[in-house]
Amino acid sequence: PLLLPPNAFAHLRRQAAALAALRPRMNDCCRHHSPLPCARRAWTDVLDGFCTDEFGVKTRQFHCCRRHGAA
């Protein structure tokens, strides 16, 4: 668990949650027959979810969430 005050730092909580979601997926990819495409899918899925969460709040979104496609 993060050691952040309970009433602030929501942006850091969202970032930490995305990294926490990525870890088990990357571990699974290491055992996959084609790890690189698996890792790319894991990263983009988690990043898409993170950006969806970012746009769901009224704060400034993380800079990478404003990019599209391969960017």
- Average pLDDT for 13-33: 92
26 in Cβ contact with 42 (< 8 Å): yes
Please tell me the predicted confidence (pLDDT) of residue 1.
57
The mean of the pLDDT values for the chain is 83
7 vs 25: CA distance, rounded Å: 29
Work out the pLDDT band at 23, boundaries 50, 70, 90.
very high
Please tell me the predicted confidence (pLDDT) of residue 35.
94
Q: What is the pTM of this model?
A: 0.72
Please tell me the predicted confidence (pLDDT) of residue 65.
73
